Structure 1
Amino acid sequence: MPEKHLFEYAVIRVVPRVEREEFINTGVILYCPAQAFLKTTYEINEERLRAFGADLDRQELEDRLLAFKRICAGRTEGGTIGKLSLAERFRWLTATRSTIVQTSAVHPGLCQDAAKTLDHLFAQLVQQTAGRI
């Protein structure tokens, strides 16, 4: 039986009106230290944002979400935070914020393949809530 590894993940949420605390699941970030894996995937569902009456700057939102990918990738494209260790980057990305892009609480699990687990969680927690599964 293949070995299972501990992973942690959080859901990336767009909070169109922070004061109302309503959100739309937009992505997932997953960290698996045993596989040296830190990655995020997201999609912006324009229809759901309009349903919330969100009048957000689309480019600003895309830039904020792209920053998650850059920080996960590390190196110079992730800026100063991208130079930290995987664990430190994950903790920084999942820290509590009061902005239009936030993350859920961090949840643990076990996986054999972190990339497949990320895809599964994204389909289940983001795409399913968008009514596509």
Structure 2
Amino acid sequence: MSEKQCTFDYAVFRLVPRVELEEFFNVGVIVSCPAFKFLDAQIAVNEEKLRCFAPDTPLDEVKEYLSIIPQICAGTGSDTISKMPQRERFYWLTAQRSTIIQPSPVHTGLTSDPAATLEALFKKYVR
């Protein structure tokens, strides 16, 4: 018997140090799977790559901003967004913006294990 496959949505977080140039590198992945009540993100900044790519980028600020994303996913932050329903948090985090941290367009797939899917996407796009 095969495992239940459910749809999931994901986006890749991009670091865009100079927004006007639209050059970026991937720093995280977020996965939402409502059927499993799953919302989580994995984040990692390759500091060496960032220093080569954009040495003037404030690394501490970037890391602090990115660290909030998993907290919002878990609903553990003290901010208003963390208290929103899970799906609304996903849409808020993946809304297009013109800042140095930008989400990719949202993509959809099928999974029977959203946590494993998040890990696989993170390995594929970030590591």
Indicate the TM-score class for this superposition, using the shorter chain for normalisation.
over 0.9
Deviation at 1:93, TM superposition (A): 0.2
Deviation at 1:100, TM superposition (A): 0.6
Q: State the partner residue of 1:88.
A: 88
Letter matched to residue 65 of structure 2: R
Contact between 1:70 and 1:78, CA under 8 Å: does it hold in 2? no
Q: State the partner residue of 2:47.
A: 46
Deviation at 1:3, TM superposition (A): 0.6
Q: How many residues align?
A: 126
Once residues 6 and 78 of structure 1 are traced to their aligned partners in structure 2, the CA distance between those partners, rounded to angstroms, is 29
**Per the alignment, in what secondary structure is the counterpart of residue 23 of structure 2?**
coil
Please list every run of 5 or more consecutive structure 2 residues that lacks an aligned counterpart in the other structure: none
Once residues 5 and 56 of structure 2 are traced to their aligned partners in structure 1, the CA distance between those partners, rounded to angstroms, is 43
Contact between 1:16 and 1:23, CA under 8 Å: does it hold in 2? yes
Once residues 93 and 99 of structure 2 are traced to their aligned partners in structure 1, the CA distance between those partners, rounded to angstroms, is 13
RMSD: 1.0
Q: State the partner residue of 1:79.
A: 79
| Structure 1 runs, 4 residues or longer, greater than 2 Å off | none
- Return the TM-score normalized by structure 2: 0.95
- Return the TM-score normalized by structure 1: 0.91
- Greater shift after overlay, 46-55 or 14-23? 46-55
Q: State the partner residue of 2:13.
A: 12
Please list every run of 5 or more consecutive structure 1 residues that lacks an aligned counterpart in the other structure: 128-133
Identity of aligned residues (%): 49
Deviation at 1:78, TM superposition (A): 4.7
Letter matched to residue 125 of structure 1: Y
Letter matched to residue 42 of structure 1: I
